[in-house]
Chains A and B, each alone.
Chain A
């Protein structure tokens, strides 16, 4: 009982500290540009990583279609949110389809309350579209087993990309020119939550939902399917229903993350969501530990920070005392990165967290153990 209360206290304190830190960061965002962008990108990727983990780690469905669903969310959000005054600039080649323009003008002329809520509606709509697409293809694709499912979903995401960049949809997706002038994150609660903190709140809500799902009876059914499909079926679990559910929910949250990514990057093109994107997310999931939500979150931040910030120096030429250190040039960072991934895959197969979740007990146990070990040495 004491332990539970202590852990709750620690969690609440950590959350408060995090919130205070975010508000501090918001006030000093101009001095800490790199930190802000790494944290924002990290939080967005942690959402898609957790959603991939829900599918790959908890349901045992090896899917490589995340980038495709992300692009559905990103494009929906972008098309709906580009301001009316910028439309002609963005669609300078082919013009925008009149019905979309009419809809956007209608929104722009609607009352203030609608306009404040509209960005969230756009995110939600992107998610729902992706969920709908996932539900449709899931009926067909989820019959496939492990590696066939992987290659089929990979193919699906390539099909989505081909559709978005095809000249036939120029007036909607702007074809291969991509979309830009996408507005930044909206503010929440009339400015009480500034736009910098919005993605953190949205992602937190989404991840909490997925954690609750994993802890519910549905989540237990997912895990049963992961462990042994035939045994799960014998226990009365409807295989198709649960697989479809996991696939649809994972796609929904991938699309939300895609929408947030569009707001973060301010400009997107179909190429952004290529196979490499899926591989990057898979890398995060594998490093974090397949089957661990907190592992995915932690690794999303670590990987983003390492890639965009800490390991930057690998890409710059390095000179120590007049000696030009070889190897250091553009691209070296990514080589180090892939070697790191291979090390995790081959040697530390469990990743950061394995299938464990973060817990205060383990953290404290680790520290006290170390201290007592030191004491013993004296």
Chain B
């Protein structure tokens, strides 16, 4: 493989990784607060793809993007209210089953509404513009994804570290009950978390599907699970960790596909998960948790 091809694949990988990183943040935030693997997160990402298709059919792209992001955010909050809030005091297994149920529902609902036939993702002209850097060519979205990801993460970090809501989020993720005793409105914090997670998934969805060209009701499942792995890899609950995990998985996956092991690229992610959980369950940057009785 020549240097150019390697660089080309690395660029694709970084771009894919950026989209993964944005989705992984959603997992890490929700897990940090509710200790819940939000199995429906991948499907929210898929639904955002469909919203974009329909929004872009009747609006110019800036408005379509705003509509998509708003609807996705509202959907994330709605799902939390409807499916997770009633189970706040239930065992962790039931809330996880509820998450799986939501994922099942969203997949079936989108199969019903949009049929299982892949739908072409509309092109936003300026995103698809091809740039030529030396011998490497890349579309604008490939270059934009990592930059946008990093900007969004910096904003998010500022939000978490410097605002009142951010402080409340950190408090809730440390200790649910004590935070409640301190007068934090738990439900609002959780809604805010889901809103941020879904918003980022919406952005990730636009970047991811612009490169992939089509959406099916099941195109959220595997990216969703992979991004959860990315979150675990970086240390669950840790935002920069999730971003690094996302980039890492994106790059390795692209390289595996480039080397001709495309059937194993999914398996690799899960192997990474299992090895990581066994060797260092807290992830790269996770805090050590103490087992309490």
Question: Residues on A close to B: CB < 8 A?
Answer: 56, 62, 137, 140-141, 143-144, 146-148, 150-152, 154-156, 158-159, 162-163, 165-167, 230, 275-276, 279, 282-283, 286, 290, 329-332, 334-335, 337-339, 341-342, 345-346, 349
Of chain A, the residue at the smallest CB distance from B96 is A147
Is B98's CB under 8 angstroms from A346's CB?
yes
Interface segment, one of B138-146, B165-173, B270-278: B270-278
Is A140's CB under 8 angstroms from B278's CB?
yes
Q: In the complex, what's the smallest C-beta–C-beta distance from A71 to chain B, in angstroms?
A: 13
Is A158's CB under 8 angstroms from B266's CB?
yes
Of chain A, the residue at the smallest CB distance from B103 is A279
Is A144's CB under 8 angstroms from B281's CB?
yes
Is B112's CB under 8 angstroms from A151's CB?
no
* A166 neighbours in B (Cβ, 8 Å): 263-264
Complex-state Cα separation, A62 to B100, whole angstroms: 13
Does B87 reach chain A (CB closer than 8 Å)? Answer: yes
Size of the chain B interface, CB-CB below 8 angstroms: 45
Does B137 reach chain A (CB closer than 8 Å)? Answer: no
Contact of A143 among B97, B221, B278 (CB under 8 A): B278
Q: In the complex, what's the smallest C-beta–C-beta distance from B22 to chain A, in angstroms?
A: 20
* A163 neighbours in B (Cβ, 8 Å): 267
Complex-state Cα separation, A119 to B36, whole angstroms: 43
Of chain A, the residue at the smallest CB distance from B31 is A147
Query: Known pairs A147-B36, A156-B274. 9 more at Cβ < 8 A?
Result: A146-B92, A146-B96, A147-B37, A162-B266, A166-B264, A276-B107, A282-B100, A334-B108, A335-B108
Q: Which of B208-226 contact A (CB under 8 A)?
A: 221, 225
Q: In the complex, what's the smallest C-beta–C-beta distance from B96 to chain A, in angstroms?
A: 6
Question: Residues on B close to A: CB < 8 A?
Answer: 35-37, 83, 86-87, 90, 92-94, 96-98, 100-105, 107-109, 111-113, 115-116, 221, 225, 228-229, 232, 263-264, 266-267, 269-271, 273-274, 277-278, 281, 293
Q: In the complex, what's the smallest C-beta–C-beta distance from A179 to chain B, in angstroms?
A: 17
Contact of B263 among A150, A167, A334 (CB under 8 A): A167
Is A346's CB under 8 angstroms from B86's CB?
yes
Is B274's CB under 8 angstroms from A339's CB?
no
Given that A152-B273, A156-B274 are known contacts, is A342 also in contact with B101, CB under 8 Å in the complex? yes
Given that A331-B115, A338-B105 are known contacts, is A286 also in contact with B277, CB under 8 Å in the complex? no
Complex-state Cα separation, A286 to B281, whole angstroms: 29
Of chain B, the residue at the smallest CB distance from A315 is B112
Is A286's CB under 8 angstroms from B267's CB?
no
Is B281's CB under 8 angstroms from A279's CB?
no
Is B274's CB under 8 angstroms from A345's CB?
no
Of chain B, the residue at the smallest CB distance from A149 is B277
* B104 neighbours in A (Cβ, 8 Å): 279, 283, 338, 341
Given that A148-B277, A165-B263 are known contacts, is A349 also in contact with B90, CB under 8 Å in the complex? yes
Complex-state Cα separation, A143 to B281, whole angstroms: 10
Of chain B, the residue at the smallest CB distance from A283 is B104
* A159 neighbours in B (Cβ, 8 Å): 267, 270-271
Given that A62-B96, A158-B267, A345-B101 are known contacts, is A151 also in contact with B273, CB under 8 Å in the complex? yes
* B267 neighbours in A (Cβ, 8 Å): 158-159, 162-163
Is A342's CB under 8 angstroms from B98's CB?
yes
Of chain A, the residue at the smallest CB distance from B271 is A159
| A56, A339, A345 pick with most chain B CB within 10 angstroms | A345
Is B83's CB under 8 angstroms from A342's CB?
yes
* B107 neighbours in A (Cβ, 8 Å): 276
Contact of B108 among A147, A151, A331 (CB under 8 A): A331
Q: In the complex, what's the smallest C-beta–C-beta distance from B175 to chain A, in angstroms?
A: 19
Of chain B, the residue at the smallest CB distance from A64 is B100
* A335 neighbours in B (Cβ, 8 Å): 105, 108-109, 112
Q: In the complex, what's the smallest C-beta–C-beta distance from A308 to chain B, in angstroms?
A: 15
Of chain B, the residue at the smallest CB distance from A167 is B263
* B37 neighbours in A (Cβ, 8 Å): 147, 150-151
| B92, B93, B97, B98 pick with most chain A CB within 10 angstroms | B97
* A154 neighbours in B (Cβ, 8 Å): 225, 270
Sample 17 A-B pairs with CB under 8 A, ordered by A number: A144-B277, A147-B35, A147-B92, A147-B96, A148-B281, A151-B37, A151-B232, A152-B274, A155-B271, A159-B271, A329-B112, A331-B111, A334-B111, A335-B105, A335-B112, A345-B83, A345-B98
Of chain A, the residue at the smallest CB distance from B274 is A152
Is B97's CB under 8 angstroms from A282's CB?
yes
Complex-state Cα separation, A286 to B98, whole angstroms: 10
Is A334's CB under 8 angstroms from B101's CB?
no
| A147, A163, A275, A286 pick with most chain B CB within 10 angstroms | A147
Complex-state Cα separation, A154 to B229, whole angstroms: 11
Q: In the complex, what's the smallest C-beta–C-beta distance from B41 to chain A, in angstroms?
A: 13
